[in-house]
């Protein structure tokens, strides 16, 4: 288990670094992270590794009736230790029974089983939603936890 801390504006550099490690094809950068954190309802968490260094993050929006997960990532060297599952459990705790939704690439062999085992269910699919660096398109699966759409 890791300690989770709520993110704030002072975490923008570390969030950008973690995002770049998790999504090397499409790093959001500090400006984009700052815009997200400035959005009404934005919240998130940082997970610490054993040595206390940031190991993973989750960014989300509280939309009132429901929450949306915007991004989730764990440093590659620290995966498969339960940090992703812990971050997802925390956003479900904040949602407190409200629906939580997100989009994930259909071919994301790590995130899909994580979300499905956490109780998310597939509620839709968007073809050609993601465009990869090599130009290839990938579908997004829409997942929802909790109250029906
Ligand atoms: C998805 C991600 C956050 C998972 O983080 P993690 O800390 O490794 O996840 P956990 O250790 O909590 O794994 C929980 C469960 O998810 C599933 N899972 C995680 N990684 C997996 C993999 N590589 N292959 C298959 N299943 C996997 C397993 O069911 C796992 O449970 P188990 O270890 O008991 O088998 C991480 O792989 C990551 O940062 N990926 C790149 C960014 C990304 O794709 N983010 C999600 C986009 S929405």
Tens of pLDDT, residue by residue, the chain (149 residues): 788 999 999 999 999 999 999 999 889 999 999 999 999 999 999 999 776 789 999 999 999 999 999 999 999 999 999 999 999 999 999 999 999 999 999 999 999 999 999 999 999 999 999 888 888 899 999 999 997 65
Q: Where are the beta strands (DSSP E) in 41-80?
A: 42-48, 54-62, 66-74
Closest CA to 65 of 101, 39, 33: 101
Residue from 18, 101, 111 to probe ligand 1 pocket by mutation (most atoms less than 8 Å from CB): 111
Q: What was the pLDDT predicted at 133?
A: 81
Tell me if 7 sits within 8 A of 34, measured CB to CB: no
pTM for the predicted model, two decimal places:
0.96
Q: What was the pLDDT predicted at 17?
A: 96
Instruction: Please report how many Cα atoms fall inside a 13 Å half-sphere around the Cα of residue 108, on the Cβ side.
Output: 22
Phi/psi of residue 100, nearest 5 degrees: -125, 130
Shortest-distance atom of ligand 1 to CA 83: 7
Residue of the CA atom closest to atom 30 of ligand 1: 114
78: CA distance to ligand 1 center in Å? 10
CATH assignment at residue 140: 3.40.630.30
79: CA distance to ligand 1 center in Å? 7
112: CA distance to ligand 1 center in Å? 8
Q: What was the pLDDT predicted at 70?
A: 98
Residue from 15, 79, 90 to probe ligand 1 pocket by mutation (most atoms less than 8 Å from CB): 79
141 C-beta closer than 6 A to ligand 1: no
Q: Give the domain extent around 141.
A: 4-145
Tell me how many domains the chain contains: 1
């Amino acid at each position: 288990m890791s300690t989770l801390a709520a993110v704030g504006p002072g975490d923008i550099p570390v969030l950008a670094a973690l995002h770049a490690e998790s999504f090397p094809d499409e790093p959001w950068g500090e400006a984009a992270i700052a815009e997200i954190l400035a959005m009404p309802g934005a919240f998130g968490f940082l997970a610490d590794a054993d040595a206390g260094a940031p190991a993973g993050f989750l960014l989300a929006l509280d939309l009132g009736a429901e929450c949306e997960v915007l991004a989730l990532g764990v440093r590659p060297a620290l995966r498969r230790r339960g940090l992703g599952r812990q971050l997802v459990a925390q956003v479900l705790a904040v949602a407190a029974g409200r629906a939580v939704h997100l989009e994930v690439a259909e071919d994301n062999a790590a995130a899909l089983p994580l979300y499905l085992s956490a109780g998310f269910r597939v509620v839709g699919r968007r073809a050609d939603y993601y465009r990869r660096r090599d130009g290839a398109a990938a579908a997004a699966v829409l997942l929802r936890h909790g109250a029906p759409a």
